[in-house]
Amino acid sequence: RCVSIKRDVVEADEFDKGERMILNFGHTIGHAVEKFYNYSTYTHGCAVAAGMLMITKLAIEKNLAGTDEMYQKLYECISSYGLPCSAGTDSETLAPLCLNDKKRESSFINIILCDKIGHCIIKKLSTDDFMKFMGV
Residue spans per domain, the chain: 2-133
Q: Cβ-count burial of 24 within 10 angstroms (0-12 exposed, 13-18 middle, 19+ buried)?
A: buried
Q: How confident is the model at residue 29 (pLDDT cuts 50, 70, 90)?
A: very high
Of residues 117 and 7, more confidently modeled: 117
Cα–Cα distance between 118 and 60 in angstroms, integer? Answer: 16
Model pLDDT, residue 54: 97
Residues 6 or more apart from 33 whose CB is under 8 A from it?
Answer: 42, 47, 50, 51, 87, 88, 89, 94
Model pLDDT, residue 105: 77
Say whether domain 2-133 belongs to CATH 3.40.50.300.
no
